[in-house]
Structure 1
């Protein structure tokens, strides 16, 4: 009878430890960061862009975020890209805080 009780207690504690370890690992997980791998060659409508992020690894690129939350990566050496960055920066500076 004691062996049976010990086995049940062992299984219970293993279950508690497994659940605790699983919850700890999911809450401490690092948020995945988007990376540009493929670059779009199309010029985007500047009015639909709300934010951007510069990236150098794995490729030198700008990741624009549209009003719909879509992320689009483009090459930094296009003329319209610098104009779009300037426009977004101006809009962000003009927003009341």
Structure 2
């Protein structure tokens, strides 16, 4: 049985396309952000909370992020969790001051 150059070329390209398709589909998946798997049962001090994120998959949860950046997942149906969410929603958004470059003074026109 003889393989012609065209047959070898077709087999090569089919193999190449199969490998690149598999690599592309795996590499193109978006890496999930932090997600809750375990839920804490401890009530948190809402004064230490900076923000929250709602999550529905893999479990329904609220992820609280503390001022130090610690992420804690809790059950969303707890009364204190709902109060903490309302507290955070009412909190005014603080913006960091931006430093604007100082404008240079306009040059004075030379007298005639």
The alignment's TM-score, normalised by the length of structure 1, stands at 0.63
For structure 2, list consecutive stretches of 5 or more residues without a partner in the other structure: 1-27, 96-112
Residue 88 (structure 2) pairs with residue 81 (structure 1): no
Aligned residues: 68
Q: How does 1:1-97 map to 2 (within 5 A)?
A: 32-91=32-91, 94-95=92-93
Stretches of 4+ aligned residues off by more than 3 angstroms: 28-32
Distance between the aligned counterparts of 2:32 and 2:58, measured in 1? Answer: 15
Q: Higher helix proportion, which one? A: 1
Following superposition, the deviation at residue 95 of structure 1 comes to 2.9
How far has the Cα of 1:76 moved from its partner? 0.7
Which deviations, in whole Å up to 9, do the C-alpha atoms of 1:52-82 show, x marking residues without a partner? 0000000000000001100000001110000
Q: Which runs of 5+ in 1 are unaligned?
A: 1-27
